[in-house]
């Protein structure tokens, strides 16, 4: 990411640095865009059964298929899918899920029974999209 900035005179330079200083102290605008985007990606990952972040989630065990009687993977009651929460401050975005079994599906620890079914993560394309939000925000600081 690169920027070209034209500033006329010392007063213009000081003004731009003041604006930049204030803007770089609060990233809530691009973080809010990232939050909305990532929450859409999470929901898309559910509807594609994991293919947003990987080659897809491991298939359900035959016993689970029998118990569920159809339906989408990781969506019995819909509790986990609906429980993603965002905490946004001036400089930080945290997306979490307090559902007690979320951590077992999300974790990358080795396991014997429950396969990993990641719902939240960042792929290269998602990083590029989020970088665009920040780049556009920083450009506004120079206008």
Q: Please, what are the averages of pLDDT over each run of 10 residues along the chain (143 residues)?
A: 69 76 87 97 91 85 76 79 95 95 86 83 94 92 78
Give me the pLDDT at residue 4, please. Answer: 67
**pLDDT in the model for residue 1:** 61
C-alpha dihedral sign at 65, 51, 110, 107: negative
Exposed e or buried b per residue across 60-72, where buried means at least 16 C-beta atoms within 10 angstroms of its C-beta: beeeeeeeeeeee
**DSSP 3-state assignment of 60?**
coil
pLDDT at 108: 85
What single-letter DSSP state applies at residue 58? Answer: P
For residue 6, the Cα-to-chain-centroid distance in whole angstroms is 34
State the distance between the two ends of the chain, measured CA to CA, in whole angstroms.
17
**75's torsion region: left (phi>0), alpha (psi -120 to 50) or beta?**
beta
């Amino acid at each position: 990411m690169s920027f070209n900035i034209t500033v006329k005179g010392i007063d213009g330079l000081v003004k731009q640095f003041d604006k930049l200083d204030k803007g770089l102290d609060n990233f809530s605008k691009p973080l809010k865009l990232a939050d909305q985007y990532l929450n859409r990606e999470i929901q898309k990952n559910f509807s594609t059964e994991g293919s947003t972040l990987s080659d897809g989630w491991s298939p359900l065990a035959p016993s689970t298929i029998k118990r569920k009687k159809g339906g989408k993977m990781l969506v019995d009651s819909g509790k986990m899918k609906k429980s993603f929460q965002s905490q946004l401050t001036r400089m930080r975005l945290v997306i979490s899920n307090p559902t007690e079994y979320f951590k077992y599906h999300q974790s990358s620890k080795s396991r014997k029974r429950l396969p990993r079914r990641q719902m939240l993560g960042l792929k290269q394309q998602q990083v590029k999209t989020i970088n665009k939000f920040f780049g556009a925000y920083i450009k506004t600081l120079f206008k």
